[in-house]
A and B are shown apart, each in its own frame.
Chain A
Amino acid sequence: MNTEIRRKSIYSAGVGGVYLSFGLVQFVFSLGVGTSSLRYLNIDDNIFGGFIMALIGVVFIFALERMRRDDVEGTAFQFSGIFLSLLFAGINLLILGADLLSAALEGGSLELLGSISPIIYLGVLSLAGLMLWKDEFSLNRLSRAGA
């Protein structure tokens, strides 16, 4: 295993482990088994949110497993994990913005820090990955859709 693959493996193991853990905890919360000490991490009881985080974690774990076999597909799984996590972080950020606007329109307010869900803040890990391997993972290589 060369140095680059080793770096990618460590990254996939770390990020995948975090996503999978958060996803499973949120899944457990959604079943009503609350661990209140972890609530400060803004983990809510949304079952689908938990499912998505766990899924992203599994994609990174697949990446790790393939890299350990020196399979070139490992990079593809890592890239897809980064892509999916950023996609869902973006979607949740958009939803958060809409929630803030709705609260303002209704004359109420929303606590911003308390509303930043794990799927949003964990996106920072993927953003770091994207920065590290930006040449390899650039979406600029895709052509534009026609109109």
Chain B
Amino acid sequence: MENDNITIALAGNPNVGKTTLFNSLTGTRQHVGNWPGVTVEKKVGTARHKGRDITIVDLPGTYSLSAYSLDELVTRDYIIKGRPDAVIHILDASNLERNLYLTIQLLELDVNVVLALNMYDIVKNRGDTIDVEMLSKNLGVPVVETVASTGEGIEELIDAALRLPKEGIERYRPFYGEDLEERISKVMDVLGGDDKVTPRFPRRWLAIKVLEEDKEVLKLLEGSEVEPKLKRYMDGVGQNTELELVNRRYENVRCVMSGSCKLSDGGMDPSDMLDKVVTNKYLGIPIFLAMMWAAFEMTFKVAEPFTIMIDKFFSWLMVLITENVGNGTIASLLGDGIIGGVGSVLVFVPNIFLLFLIISLLEDSGYLARAAFVMDKVMSRIGLHGKSFIPLLIGFGCSVPAIMACRSIEDNKDRIITILSTPFITCGARFPVYVLFAGAFFADSEGTVVFSMYLLSILMAIVSVILLRRFIFKGEKSPFILEIPPYRMPTMRSALLHMWDRGKMYLKKAGTIIFLGAIIIWVLASFPPGVEYGSGDSFVGMIGKVLEPLISPLGFDWKIAVALTLGFVAKEIVVGSLGTLYGTGENDDLLRDQLRNDPSMTPLTSLGVMIFTLIYVPCLATVAIIRKETNSWKWTLFSILYSMSLAWVITFVVYRVGLLLGY
């Protein structure tokens, strides 16, 4: 392989370390998680190795090369159509049998394969042994031991990939038994009569896919000369061919492994011990609740000193501007508008970053995959499986990546239900609204009230799934298969990188959308000339009063109407616009006082504001990603109307019941 443009694809089962290897090779910082399905589309980067430029392609994790889910299709299509110079197949060395199933399929595709036995440290720690040379000889491909997280073996791996193809070594050819081999030969003979589709693929692989009744392959062959012949032949073949092929592939795996692997019987390791408890049928859910509560308690308490420091900084800046800028209008624009609007959002940066740090630690450790497993029982009762729980969990950070994570859900109905329900999970941007109102009206139990909003958001997602399953997407849920990764020790570097990657979006918004929003709100609150800033006579007041009748049944006045309307763009704007409308600028303590003193605001209405904020559309970016992922305006509009209606109805019920109960 001496050409200048070398492309190496990284393939493998989910959660075996492909993205860790990709980051290590390319110096990028793609998101890595300790659960299956983090990479949902291929990522491309470049690396330089011993003076040669290499294009590295990170493919979504797949267990097989069938066409059951979008990520499997992305991987298969790239390997077949992209024809990379080499495919590095990364295997979890501690779980070899399951991983080699994909190797067998890659070998069928006639691509240059190098095997990376990753996480080799786990194998050693367990006391297991793998005879790497024998495995390499059995398969006829190079095999290298690696630990991607520490960089061990990566040099040797790339060297091996660049040396491909190795001449003179016979690669392993899976044998499916006489009966199946005869069927494969027959289909290959039939395919020989086609000169359009067949020449683009390895004929044996194509024949196997035809026997598996692979939808994508059959679609390709539609209208070809051989289609009628194939149909006639397939009608005479039994229905269990796919299952037979799967079983035979596993037999091939066992044959390849024989003699090269020795497992120790060293008993339970710490990962197994923890799993006995955190996935226990009685303790699993209480432990999950305890972990979530601790996460939110930390988000509040540990962030507090940093919040105080930022608050003090903006107060100082505000005084500096007021004292030194002579022009009243400019001072108001800088102080009330920009610092007030942007500052009121930035004081929540410590909370948001800490929340993301905790989510990263939970994710990297492997606990979130257990949470999905534990919650599967609850999820299956409402008609979804545990796999849908992972996007819902990511939704606690941001709805956009959460909706993208739905790609790993094979069944289209389940995927759409999860996409439409994920926005109900409370994202980081809604958090400041809860903190503001909980702090103002429920100061003694602020953490508990905010935690309750998170519980309510889970409940809302569940209710949404039930409604959608019962009335729109009728039918049974698809079966749940989730690989539970081993626990890993999270590293602070990795967790901080993930925190920064997710949190910087928040900072970026503060510098762009929120900055712009703050100026627009200031203009609307300051004009027409001569009006009191943010009063009912200003433009913002006029807009609010037009909207007021729509939300007055919920107990909200025009100021809340304006804040919620602007919050459609981004939820962070809600707090900033309230700061402007109440004339408190960035000082959230003062804003809390003003809210408490506002006769139209009561603990009940503040609860209503939090609930409405929780349920209605998170932001424009979420709407855009729903459109992209569903590829449908119908579902996008449905999502907006659905969440707005639910927000209105539920807030109305809470408010009216509250009034009846005397609150």
Contacts and interface: CB of A to CB of B under 8 A. Distances in A.
B305 interface: yes
B488 A95 contact: no
B491 A145 contact: yes
A139 B488 CA distance: 9
B276 interface: yes
A70 interface: no
Most buried by B among A79, A83, A143: A143
B364 interface: yes
A51 B297 CA distance: 14
A142 B489 contact: yes
Interface in B450-466: 451
Contact of B125 (A58, A76, A141, A147): A141
A131 interface: no
Q: Is the interface of A mostly helix, strand, loop or mixed?
A: helix
A19 interface: no
Instruction: Report the contact-size class of chain A (Cβ under 8 Å from the partner).
Output: 35 or more
Nearest to B308: A105
B270 A145 contact: no
Interface string B438-453: 0000000000100100
Contacts of A95: 297-298, 301-302
A76 B277 CA distance: 7
Interface in A54-101: 55, 58-59, 62, 72-73, 75-77, 79-81, 83-84, 88, 91, 94-95, 98-99, 101
Size category, B interface: 35 or more
A146 interface: yes
A142 B19 CA distance: 19
A76 B276 CA distance: 7
A147 B269 contact: no
Nearest to B119: A143
A122 to B, nearest CB: 15
A35 interface: no
A58 B280 CA distance: 12
Contacts of B125: 141, 143
B491 A144 contact: yes
A52 B45 CA distance: 45
B64 interface: no
A143 B305 contact: no
Interface string B273-315: 1101110100100110110011001100111110011001000
Contacts of B150: 144
Contact of B293 (A48, A137, A141): A48
Interface string B477-496: 00000000011111101100
A109 interface: no
Contact of A138 (B270, B297, B302, B305): B270
A75 B298 contact: no
A147 B283 contact: no
A55 B286 contact: yes
B489 A144 contact: yes
Nearest to A137: B270
A137 to B, nearest CB: 7
A81 B287 CA distance: 11
Contacts of B280: 62
Contacts of A105: 305, 308-309, 312
Contacts of A144: 149-150, 488-489, 491
B622 interface: no
Contacts of B491: 144-145, 147
Nearest to A139: B270
The interface centre, meaning the residue of A48, A55, A75 with most chain B CB atoms within 10 A of its CB, is: A48
A3 B640 CA distance: 65
A101 to B, nearest CB: 4
A72 B267 contact: yes
Interface in B487-537: 487-491, 493-494, 497
Nearest to B276: A76
Contacts of A80: 273-274, 276-278
B329 interface: no
A13 B588 CA distance: 49
A75 B270 contact: no
Contacts of B490: 145
B608 interface: no
B32 interface: yes
13 contacts: A48-B293, A62-B283, A76-B268, A80-B273, A88-B290, A95-B298, A98-B301, A105-B305, A139-B270, A143-B121, A143-B125, A146-B23, A147-B494
Interface of A: 47-48, 51-52, 55, 58-59, 62, 72-73, 75-77, 79-81, 83-84, 88, 91, 94-95, 98-99, 101-102, 105-106, 137-139, 141-147
